[in-house]
Structure 1
Amino acid sequence: MKVNIRTMMSIKSIGAVILFFSLAESVTLPEVPQQEDRNATQKFLENNTRDVTTVAFAQFVQEATYEEITELVKQMIHYIDKCMANMELPECSRLANDVIQDKICEVKELSEKYGFSECCTEDISKSRLCFFERKRTDVSFLTPFQIPDPEKGCQEYEADQETFLNHYIYEIARRNPFIFAPTLLALVARYKEVSTSCCQEENKHECFRIKATPITNDLKEISAKQQNICGVLRKFGPKGVKFQKIVEISQKFPKIDFSLLNKLLEDIPNMVDGCCEGDVVHCFRLEAKIINHICSRPDSLSSKIRDCCQLTIPERGECILIHSENDDKPKDLSPRVERFLEGDDVCQRLHEDKENFLIEFLHEYSRQHLELPHSVLLRIAVIYEELLEKCCKTENPKECYSHGEEEFLNITMKTHAVAKLQCDFFQQLGEEGFFTQCLLFLTKKAPQLSSQELISHSQKLVTSFSKCCFLEEKQQFACVDNLAGLVLGELCGINKNRTINPTVDNCCASSSAFRPLCFNDLPEDETYTPPTFLPEMFTFNISLCQEMELQRKRRELIVNLVRQKPVLETQQVMQMFSDFPTLINCCKTEERESCFKEEHSKLYNKIEAVLGS
């Protein structure tokens, strides 16, 4: 399904520039008496215009310096001030996102310097898509983000909190171009609390290590989740987003009434659309509207969100949508979905309103199985749909589809077995050993990816398994499948036109629910042609005496060996490392240069022999 990024004119008024300061809204959620909540959202946008627009500019022009982004923000604030003085001006009725992109295009040196002139010559709808598609999730083109030394950072923080945090927003936004603006600013609010607290401590380093690390970990995981949902929208359309969110909402709020779920689902794809495109005003407003609606009836939805609803914007959105636990299942909830597998009217309901019927099934099955991974529940929905398509053509449909639970159990057990095997493997090998296996696997399947991407995706898999595999087995299953699915979503990328190789592209184009299973059974790319052999790729010198350089070279050696000869067995690759300890011992000798030259020659000959065999 083709996704038309943010051209849904029915919600156009939400993003108008004047709505940084106006409460006029047009959304499909029912009206609720929450004027105070609307005012709070409005007030937040007014008080945080600098930070909100910094997110937008930094995500659109990731290469720009902080000074360049700051200048764009100043221009936007000046524009808003002008419109506040006279809202009758023609330019003041335009969408905020269009104005933001125009402000970028007005600085011709920027468009020429960073190569997005083509986005500035298109009509509005094409320009939006152009800016969207130039966002890059592989940020190896940026210098690594160095968190300032706590002592120095605290001096800067105490001297000018606003600028310090705004610079932090800039750095995070440009490295996470698909993280939703409310989420990013909620994380920054947490970082502000940590900075205020830790800058008062004597041992600032230890304080930041303990308190800031969870924020960094949350940032990585949440950014991956939101990037993944943007990929679902781009590749599978609003329907794909809707089915993904049915699972999440039904598991988080198993008591939710189906009619209320449907009302929320009417606006969630629109919110995701605006947030993914980078329309920060639209993103804030629709998320706030949805959260306000949830918080208007917390007891009927969940026993776990009342405290979240007491928080301010945007922290409560992050608390409810991301951090709140799944509520307990209703005690009267049946353990089976009888009416979907034993009802006489199943085929009739399918033919009358197929999408709504499948949504209802997925909702019921998800809230009954809070322990299952999202992808497994989505697979079950696909299996159920295919089962009914087949059974409803038979003479005895009920007899046919009544065996559906067996098929659901089979796919669940298969996925559970894979997750358990992978965790056993992880625990046997340890983090570095498991990393090596992941890197070998990904390089064999997708040698066309850059070394940076292959290493990054492998490290993310290790991080996921290190988080999940020490949980109780009941929790382990969902954790592994959900997080591994996010990594594969990142590998596949956001845009439809991203191509890696035919076999990987096939997995990426398939339903995100079946993607992990597809990758597990992925054959190697038969169309792949190894690059020309370059001796410098297998050259090592005294730089290996630095620990970080040693790790980098070891990892790049794995990638380069497999790229040269994808049929290499794991054992053959690992044999190359048997000489590394001898090579590293040269770091301890007085004649390091000559030692490295001699030992490197032995290793190089071994590499040539393996690649030539």
Structure 2
Amino acid sequence: MKVNTGAMVSIKSICPIVLFFSLAESLTLLKAPQHEDYLNTTQKFLESNIRDVTTVAFAQFIQEATYQEITGLVEQMIHYRDKCITNMQLPECSKKAIHVMQDKICGVKELSAKYRLSECCTNDTSERRLCFFQRKSAAVSFLAPFQVPDIEKVCQEYEEDQDAFLNHYIYEIARRNPFAFAPTLLSLAARYKEVSTSCCQEENKHECFHTKATPITNDLKEISAKQQHTCGILMKYGPKGLKLQKVVEISQKFPKIDFKELDTLLKNIPTMVDECCKGDVVHCFRSKAKIINYICSKQDSISSRIRDCCQLTVPQRGECIIFHSQNDDKPKDLSLRVERFTEGDDVCQHLHEDKENFLTEFLYEYSRRHAELPLSVILRIGVLYEKLLESCCKTENPKECYGHGEEKFQAVAQEIQLISKVECGYFQILGEEGFLNQCLLYLTKKAPQLSFQELISYGQKLVVSFTKCCPLGEEQQFACIDNMVGQILGELCGINKNRTINPSVDNCCKSSPAFRSLCFNGLTGDDTHVPQAFLPEVFTFNVTLCQDTEQWRKRQELIMNLARQKPLLAVEQVMQVLSDFSKMINCCEVEERETCFEEEHSKLYNKIEAVLRS
């Protein structure tokens, strides 16, 4: 392979600190035109932001650790960096950054014991890396709730020491989003710095922060959820499963991209995702920068919509291209039908000669024609097409057989689109609270083993997805809902390994992302669940509920307790109980509320007993 010599010169000219930030990486993308300083630019960013970069890694490895404990580890890494600059020949200076960081964690015995890290620390480097990844938890209920800070105090701290202020912000968002990629977190932190600089000069600081910081928080939630889902795909389905997902996503975003260029990206993405997911922050930055530089160097052939993004600095331009740039327009000469795959005479020949590449190219061609379809639907169509060919190519007239492929593909899409349309109709009728109640019933019946906190969290995320997606046009809402629901189900199933919930749910979690949502929709309830003995106090309420500012939470707990007691309970029965609960709550507004409450509570309790006995 001919290597770009200009790039090699820039590698040699990098500061000696590069020994800390190991250069063991693939140069695959250097075959394409590159910005000459792509490596230097990324390297300089890493050197200038070593404190923040290592804070991300440590906070994601040990989410429970205090800021002071994380700061102590960061200081060790800076001391290590300085030592290696002084003497590059030291054996430990040739190690990869992630191994050094985990060495530092395991070297602090009090820290290892306090946070139960001994299992990871006794493994060798490769197993230890996976162990640290597997202990990451997306459910951060073990952390204190994030408090909305006093804005005046925020501005005072920001003005006193901007670097320390932003580093603490990075620590907080990293430990609460352990699967978010380091470049994303530092890109969001850069935006938060701009907001702080601007708003702390305003007279109405509160309003300014609310207006300008809320989009950053929303982006953090949305992007973190997407990256978390990507990590789950790679860990459960391997590079091949991730490749199929990225074929669809990239082809939909860049419909003008040539298949060979797409294939070049696909060869590099799994390594980058693996590094980013497992906390190898240095190589995550470098691999991602390499991919983004490749895309920016080919704007004419990949996309005309990314020019402004490509003018940004590391790491903002990567986040801009991936999450904020619009899908490019389809080539004008691109027909809706994939004729080559459903009308060609040589389809079976291609299938037999190079099945995997042929089916990947089908996904590419179908995806670039249908940006309106959800990821799971296109993957499902890909599976359908493979099975169709396997069947048709055994017949006397294969072309006649697979010639009906387009109608079958459309039928799959229309079936799921109808489901989304109906669900948005329900959402519009029920409103957010009513829809949340339905989601809690839906989830608890299928997975009564989950905690109240988990059920409410997943229910609220479903509500957020429908709140965002249903106001969109029919075509947009379809993909929006299905993609977001797929991410929520991926989190429920477990990111770094499959959870054991119950046989039915476990079966759905083991199915491919293409069919997971369909599998969940088909579940009625967990018929293997043995409820706890009936506890009267669980369904007992008194007049003190009138002082409770969270009556809605009591209503939600009632729904979940009913479904746990009887997972196969009919929706109508639950609605009857909720109606009586509302009548009881209405007593809080009358003059003789204690008498009213006693009467209505008695009716409610009798209704609950009757429903659970039926």
Change (3 A) 1:544 1:90: farther
Q: Which residue of 2 aligns with 1:26?
A: 26
What is residue 186 of structure 2 aligned with on the other side? 185
1:131-530 counterparts in 2 under 5 A?
A: 131-530=132-531
Q: Give the AA of the match of 1:405.
A: E
TM-score (norm 2): 0.93
2:20–2:93 contact (8 Å) kept in structure 1: no
| Equivalent residues of 1:18, 1:92 under 8 A apart | no
**1:6-155 superposed matches below 5 A:** 18-19=18-19, 25-31=25-31, 32-155=33-156
* % identical aligned pairs: 72
Aligned to 1:567: 568
For residue 410 of structure 1, report the CA deviation from its aligned partner: 0.7
1:481-509 deviations in Å (ceiling 9; x for gaps): 11111111111111334211111111111
The residue identity in structure 2 corresponding to 1:30 is: L
Distance (whole Å) between structure 2 residues aligned to residue 251 and residue 33 of structure 1: 24
Contact 1:586 1:595 in 2 (8 A): yes
Report the equivalent of 2:8: none
Distance 1:594 1:161 in 2: 59
Residue type matched to 2:510 in 1? Answer: A
5+ long unaligned stretches in structure 2: 1-15
| 1:160-187 deviations in Å (ceiling 9; x for gaps) | 2212211111111111111111111111
Query: Deviations 1:183-214 (Å, cap 9, x if unpaired)?
Result: 11111111111122222222222222222211
> How far apart are the structure 1 equivalents of 2:527 and 2:506?
13
Change (3 A) 1:17 1:447: farther
CA contact (8 A) 2:181 2:277 kept: yes
Q: Assess if the C-alpha contact under 8 Å between 1:18 and 1:87 holds in 2.
A: no
- After superposition, the Cα gap between the structure-2 partners of 1:352 and 1:104, relative to the gap in structure 1 and judged at 3 Å, is same
The letter of the residue matching 2:293 is N
Check the 8 A contact 1:299/1:306 in 2, yes or no.
Answer: no
The answer as to whether partners of 2:17 and 2:85 remain within 8 angstroms in 1 is no
1:34-61 Cα distance to aligned partner (Å, 9 max, x none): 2322211111101111111111111111
In structure 2, the CA distance between the partners of 1:379 and 1:197, relative to structure 1 (3 Å rule), is same
Higher mean displacement: 19-28 or 62-71: 19-28
Say whether the 8 Å CA contact 2:22–2:95 is kept in structure 1: no
Task: Report the Cα offset of residue 612 of structure 1.
Answer: 3.6
Secondary structure of the equivalent of 1:571? helix
| Amino acid of the structure 1 residue aligned with 2:554 | K
Write the letter of the residue equivalent to 1:572: Q
Q: For residue 13 of structure 1, what is the aligned residue in structure 2?
A: none
Distance 1:456 1:543, change over 3 A: farther
How far apart are residue 62 of structure 1 and its match?
0.9
Aligned equivalents of 2:397, 2:77: Cα separation in 1: 65
| 1:271 counterpart SS class | helix
TM-score by length of 1: 0.93
Aligned residue pairs, count: 598
In structure 2, give the amino acid aligned to 1:570: V
- Distance in 2 (CA, whole Å) between partners of 1:295 and 1:420 is 38
Q: Residues 28 and 19 of structure 1: is their aligned pair in 2 closer, same or farther, counting only changes over 3 Å?
A: farther
Looking at structure 2, the residues matched to 92 and 546 of structure 1 have their Cα atoms a distance apart, in angstroms, of: 62
Q: 1:258 to 1:581 in 2, by over 3 A?
A: closer
Is the Cα–Cα contact under 8 Å of residues 498 and 510 in structure 2 kept in the other structure?
no
- Alpha-carbon distance between aligned partners in 2 of 1:598 and 1:334, rounded to the nearest angstrom: 68
- Going from structure 1 to structure 2, the CA distance change for 1:21 and 1:105 (only over 3 Å counts) comes to closer
1:570 CA displacement? 2.1
Task: Give the SS at the match of 1:398.
Answer: helix
Deviations 1:45-91 (A, max 9, x none): 01111111111111111111111111111111111111121121111
**Matched residue type, 2:163:** E
Deviations 1:322-372 (A, max 9, x none): 111100011111222111111122111112111111111111111111211
**Deviation at 1:231?**
0.9
Contact 2:452 2:557 in 1 (8 A): yes
Q: Distance in 2 between matches of 1:62 and 1:292?
A: 32
Say if 1:341 and 1:401, in contact at 8 Å, map to a contact too: yes
Distance of aligned partners of 1:169 and 1:399 in 2 relative to their CA distance in 1, 3 Å threshold? same
Counterparts in 2 of 1:169 and 1:538: CA distance versus 1, 3 Å = farther
Q: Contact (CA 8 Å) 1:21, 1:46: kept in 2 or not?
A: no
- The CA deviation at 1:462 is 0.6
Partner secondary structure for residue 141 of structure 1: coil
* Counterpart code for 1:29: L
Unaligned 5+ segments in structure 1 are 1-15
Query: Equivalents in 1 of 2:518, 2:542: separation in Å?
Result: 41
| 8 Å contact from structure 2 (residues 20, 94) kept in 1 | no
SS in 1 for 2:386: helix
Q: Which moved more, 1:600-609 or 1:420-429?
A: 600-609
CA distance in structure 2 between the aligned counterparts of 1:66 and 1:594, rounded to whole angstroms: 53
Mapped to 2, the partners of 1:110 and 1:474 lie a distance apart of 51
Aligned to 1:29, the other structure's residue is in SS state helix
Structure 1 contact 27–267 (Cα < 8 Å) conserved: no
**SS of aligned partner of 2:30:** coil
